[in-house]
Structure 1
Amino acid sequence: MSQTLYLECYSGISGDMTVAALLDLGADQSVLETALKSLPVTGFDIVISRVKKAGLDVCDFHVKLDCDNHDHDMAYLHENHHHHHGDEHGHSHASEPGEHEHQEKKTHSHDHRGLLDIVAIINQAAITDHAKALAIRIFSIIADAETKAHGVPSEQVHFHEVGAVDSIVDIVAVAVCLDNLDIHEVIVPEVYEGRGFVRCQHGIIPIPVPAVTHIAARHGLNLHLTSTEGELITPTGAAIVAAIKTGDQLPKQFAIEKTGMGAGKRTYDRPSLLRVMLITDKTKNSGGIFKLESNIDDCSGEILGFVMERLFAAGARDVHYTPVYMKKNRPGYLLNVICKKDAIAELEQIIFEETTTIGIRRIQMESTGLRRTVKRILTSLGEAQVKVCELESGKRIYPEYASVAELCQKHQMAYQDAYHIIKKECEAAEGISQRTLVELNRFELPLTS
C-alpha cells in the first residue's frame, strides 16, 4: 500500500541524513546493503549505527571511504571563519575538466564524472527500475543546477565531490529506501537553511550555496532562513526534496503511523537531525464528497429533466436545479450535482454532452450522515423497501417513495395512508417501542389535528 511521507527539515537536509531517517523509519537494511554491493564502484564501505543527538537515540548512516575528504572537516570548511557548519554530506559543486588537479592530490583523487558516467553506474546496479529512475532524477537536478551556477554547457559539467563514491552511494541509497517503503507521496512544507559562508573546492561561497538556490527556484522549494551560521541544506539534500516532493501542505488532521530520525555529522547551534513521518490523512473519506455546479441559461426544461435522469442513473447522489438570474439579466438554472469522487469524470461528461454549458465548478465538501441500511420488509400491503437510519436514541424508518407509490396503485389507496401503514408495520418489525417513538417524535414537527 502506498504511503505518504512527511519530511520535517528544521535542521536542513542532506543525503546521509535522509538515508538514516528512512532506515529508522523501517526501510529494509538488508535490501539496501545488497543494492549498494551491486554498484560497480569500489573504495567504500557503509556503517549503520545508533548515535545520540540531543539525548535522542537516532540512526546514523556513514559512507566510509578508502581516501580522505573534507566533508566533515570543520577547520577546512570554515577556516578563518567563525561559522558552525552542520552538514553530513559534501557539496555538489561541479567543475570543468582539469580545474582541480591540485585539490585532487590533497584528497587522494576523487574521480571526475559526467552525468552520463553516473547514469551508467546506476543502471548497472541491481535495483528496481523505479529506484534507478529516482536516483537518476536526483543527479539530473543537481547537474542542471551546477550548469546554471558555473555558467558552463551541460556537456562540460563534471562532478568532483557529488560524483565521488560517497555521493553516488548516498543518492542511490535514498532511492532504494524510498522504493522499499513504497513511498510515492511526499510532503515538504519548508526546508530550514543557515547563513554565512562555507569553503568548497572553488573557494569561499555564500550560504545558501548557488546550486541550492537554483534548485529551490527551479522546483519551488520553500526555504526558511535561520540565524544558524552554517550550511543546513546541501545541493544533494535540495535535489532529493525537489525530486520527491509532491506537496507542501500538511492535511488539517493526520495520524502519525511511524517516525524515523536520521543524524547529521557536523556541529550546529541546533541538533543535526532529520525527522520523517509516515502519515495518514484523516480528512479523507472513502473517495470524498463533491458538488458539481454549472449555470445554464439556454436549455429547455425537457433537456434538464433528461439530464437529471441520466445523472442519477450514472451514480449521482443528488441532483437539483435552482432558478437564477444570470448575465444580462437572463433567467436560467443553477445545476447542482452531489457525487462521490470516483463518479466525477462520468457525471461531468454527461453534463457537457447533454447541456450547453462550457464550464463546471467542482467543490470538495465535508458531510455528516446517519448510519443507514436499506431493507425490504413484508407488510400487510405487500413487500416494501424502507430506509432504516440509526441515531443514538434509536432508529427511524423511512419508506421509499417507489415502494409506497407501487402499493398505492395496487390497493387504490391514498399515498399518505399507505405510507403510515408501511411505516408503522416496519417499526414493529424492527422492534421500535412506542416509548422510543415518543422520544423520536420530540424532534419532529407535531402533527396537526
Structure 2
Amino acid sequence: MGKTLYLECYSGISGDMTVAALLDLGADRSVLDRVLKSLKVSGFETKISRVVKSGIDACDFDVVLDKEHENHDHDMEYLHGHHHEGHERNHAHGTGTAQDHHHHEHRGIKEITYIIEHSAMTENAKKIALRIFEILAEAESKAHNVPVDQVHFHEVGAVDSIVDIVSVAVCLDNLDVTEVIVPVLCEGRGTVRCQHGILPIPVPAVANIVSANHLYLKMTEVEGELVTPTGAAIVAAVKTKDKLPETFEIQKIGIGAGKRQYECPGILRAMIISQNAEIDEEKAQTEEFKNPEIGNNPKAENQETKDTIIKMETNIDDCSGEVLGFVMERLMKAGARDVHYVPVFMKKNRPAWVLNVICKEEDIETLQNIIFEETTTIGIRYSIMERTILPRETRTLPTPWGEVQVKVCTLNGKEQLYPEYESVAQLSREKEIPFTEIYRYIVLANKEK
C-alpha cells in the first residue's frame, strides 16, 4: 500500500526545497543519481548537504551549473532593495517564443518530453514529471498568449529546473507516495524584477497554476516570492487532498531548505503520515466498544453507534461508463467512503446516470471539485444523513498462503467476519491462488470456530 505525504508549505515551496525534503524523508540517493546520469542533459552536477535555517537542521539540494549553463541574465532583485538568490537558483519567470534570442538553451515541451522518455525513470516517475511540465507549459502559455507547443521556457527549459522536476518525480516514486495532502500555499507580497520586467507576486505563472488547479493560496506579510512556478506546478500535479485527517500519526519527517533568506524559516516540511479518516473512525468505534464502562453495561453487546454522513448526488448525461469508472477511482482515492452510479432515464427520455458519493463533511470540497472537473454535470445535491454503525475492528488472520486482513463486526454478541478485498487480492496475485478460494477458506474457517 502506498504512503501518504503531507507538505507543510508555510514558507512557500520550490523545486529544490521539495527534492531536499523528499531526500530527507529517505528517498534513495543512488536511484536518483542513476536517473540524473541517464538524462540527455549536460552541464550540471548535484550537491546534497546539511544546512541550518532559522536554527532548524535541514537538507539542501543544489544543482551546480557550469559556466555555459549559468543563468547570468536572470535578475531576481526585489524592489525593496535586496538581492536574493531564488529558491531555485535564480530561475527566471519569463518565457520566450522561438523568436527570442538569448545565449541559453531554450527547450519546449517536445524537447523536454524526449529527455524524460529516454531516461532511466520508471513509468510512474515519468508520468509525474511530464504532468508537472505540462502544468507549467499551460501556465506560461496563458501568461504570454502563445500556444503550448510554441512556448520555449526559461523557467522550464533551464537545466536546473529540469533536474529539480525530474528529481521530485523520482523521489516521490521511490518513496511509494500515492496520496499527497497540501492544505495551503503561503505566498509573500510585493514585486519581483525578472528578465521581462517587473512582475507582481504571485507571478503570472504561479497565479495561473493556482487558478487552473484549484489550489489554496494564503498571502503573508513576508516581502518576496515564496512560491515559485515549479513549486506550484509540483503541488498541482501531485496533490490528492487539501485537508488533513482529524487524527493521524507522523511516521517520518523530512525538511528541505530554500536558498532565500526571509523573515520566515525558509524550509519545506514534509511528513509521511498514517491513519486515514476511515481507519480513524473504525479505531474510535473499536475503542468505544472496548471501553470498560460499556463492558459493564448488560446491553453493551447489542449497542450500536450513530454518526452523520454526507450524501452527494448528481445526474449526468453525455458521459461514458469508462469516464465514470475513472471518476469513481479518483473519488475513492480522494477520501470518499463509497461511490456508485446507476442508469436512469431523464426528461425527453434521455439515458443518463445518477452518481452517488458518500463522504465526511470535511471532504466535500475536494470531492465536488473532482466531479466538476471530470464530468459534464453543472450541479450537485447534498443531504446530511444519520447512519447506524455496527461496532467493528480490523484483524489479521493466518491462512495456508499467508496473512490477510478482515473486518469483524459484532451484533447481539455474535461476530461476523468480512475479508478485506485488497488484502485477499494481493495474496491471490502473489501466490497465484484463485481469489474465491482464499475468500471461501477465510469465511469457512471462521464458521467452524
Match of 2:57 in 1: 57
Work out the CA distance in 1 between the residues paired with 2:9 and 2:409: 50
1:82 alignment partner, SS class? coil
Match of 2:24 in 1: 24
Work out the CA distance in 2 between the residues paired with 1:259 and 1:184: 17
Match of 2:391 in 1: 369
Work out the CA distance in 2 between the residues paired with 1:85 and 1:136: 29
Q: Is the 8 A contact 2:248 2:273 kept in 1?
A: yes
Shift of 1:201: 1.4
| Structure 2 counterparts to residues 38-437 of structure 1, below 5 A | 38-67=38-67, 69=70, 76-78=75-77, 81-82=80-81, 85=84, 87-89=86-88, 90-101=91-102, 104=103, 110-281=104-275, 283-285=277-279, 362=358, 367=389, 369=391
Shift of 1:98: 3.6
Q: Alpha carbons of 1:253 and 1:206: their partners in 2 closer, same or farther (altered >3 Å)?
A: same
Q: TM-score, normalised by structure 1?
A: 0.63
Work out the CA distance in 2 between the residues paired with 1:137 and 1:388: 42
Match of 1:336 in 2: none
Q: Is the 8 A contact 1:207 1:231 kept in 2?
A: yes
Q: Is the 8 A contact 1:86 1:230 kept in 2?
A: no
Q: Is the 8 A contact 1:264 1:273 kept in 2?
A: yes
Work out the CA distance in 2 between the residues paired with 1:366 and 1:60: 51
Match of 1:427 in 2: none
Deviations 1:191-216 (A, max 9, x none): 00001111221111111000000000
Q: Alpha carbons of 1:85 and 1:227: their partners in 2 closer, same or farther (altered >3 Å)?
A: farther
Q: TM-score, normalised by structure 2?
A: 0.63
Q: Alpha carbons of 1:72 and 1:281: their partners in 2 closer, same or farther (altered >3 Å)?
A: farther
Shift of 1:287: 9.6
Q: Alpha carbons of 1:26 and 1:83: their partners in 2 closer, same or farther (altered >3 Å)?
A: same
Q: Alpha carbons of 1:18 and 1:388: their partners in 2 closer, same or farther (altered >3 Å)?
A: closer
Shift of 1:115: 0.6
Q: Alpha carbons of 1:256 and 1:200: their partners in 2 closer, same or farther (altered >3 Å)?
A: same
Shift of 1:281: 2.3
Work out the CA distance in 1 between the residues paired with 2:259 and 2:171: 20
Match of 2:403 in 1: none
Work out the CA distance in 1 between the residues paired with 2:34 and 2:355: 53
Work out the CA distance in 1 between the residues paired with 2:172 and 2:415: 53
Work out the CA distance in 2 between the residues paired with 1:274 and 1:239: 15
Q: Is the 8 A contact 1:189 1:222 kept in 2?
A: yes
1:26 alignment partner, SS class? coil
1:199 alignment partner, SS class? strand
Moved over 4 A (4+): 70-73, 83-86, 286-289, 341-346, 358-368, 370-373, 387-390, 396-400
Q: Is the 8 A contact 1:86 1:268 kept in 2?
A: no
Work out the CA distance in 1 between the residues paired with 2:159 and 2:415: 73
Q: Alpha carbons of 1:245 and 1:66: their partners in 2 closer, same or farther (altered >3 Å)?
A: same
List gaps (5 residues or longer) in structure 1: 105-109, 290-316, 319-340, 350-357, 374-386, 391-395, 401-449
Work out the CA distance in 2 between the residues paired with 1:388 and 1:220: 39
Deviations 1:260-314 (A, max 9, x none): 000001111111100000111254239969xxxxxxxxxxxxxxxxxxxxxxxxx
Q: Is the 8 A contact 1:263 1:274 kept in 2?
A: yes
1:161 alignment partner, SS class? helix
Work out the CA distance in 1 between the residues paired with 2:409 and 2:7: 45
Q: Alpha carbons of 1:117 and 1:344: their partners in 2 closer, same or farther (altered >3 Å)?
A: closer
Q: What is the percent sequence identity of the aligned residues? A: 52
Shift of 1:78: 1.8
Q: What code does the residue aligned with 2:96 have?
A: S
Work out the CA distance in 1 between the residues paired with 2:186 and 2:409: 54
Work out the CA distance in 2 between the residues paired with 1:227 and 1:217: 21
Work out the CA distance in 2 between the residues paired with 1:258 and 1:133: 25
Shift of 1:88: 1.5
Match of 1:335 in 2: none
Q: Alpha carbons of 1:50 and 1:370: their partners in 2 closer, same or farther (altered >3 Å)?
A: closer
Match of 1:34 in 2: 34
Q: What code does the residue aligned with 1:231 have?
A: E
Work out the CA distance in 2 between the residues paired with 1:259 and 1:17: 14
2:157 alignment partner, SS class? coil
Q: What code does the residue aligned with 1:10 have?
A: Y
Work out the CA distance in 2 between the residues paired with 1:225 and 1:193: 5
Q: What code does the residue aligned with 1:31 have?
A: V
2:156 alignment partner, SS class? coil
Q: Is the 8 A contact 1:216 1:222 kept in 2?
A: yes
Q: Alpha carbons of 1:265 and 1:130: their partners in 2 closer, same or farther (altered >3 Å)?
A: same
Work out the CA distance in 1 between the residues paired with 2:237 and 2:53: 28
Shift of 1:50: 0.7
Deviations 1:111-163 (A, max 9, x none): 11111000001111101011011111101100000011011122221112320
Work out the CA distance in 1 between the residues paired with 2:228 and 2:264: 16
Q: Alpha carbons of 1:81 and 1:284: their partners in 2 closer, same or farther (altered >3 Å)?
A: same
Number of residues of Structure 1 aligned to a counterpart in Structure 2: 318
Deviations 1:77-121 (A, max 9, x none): 2265336757421234321124243xx3xxxxx211111000001
List gaps (5 residues or longer) in structure 2: 284-303, 306-334, 343-353, 361-386, 396-407, 417-449
Q: Alpha carbons of 1:137 and 1:368: their partners in 2 closer, same or farther (altered >3 Å)?
A: same
Work out the CA distance in 1 between the residues paired with 2:188 and 2:267: 14
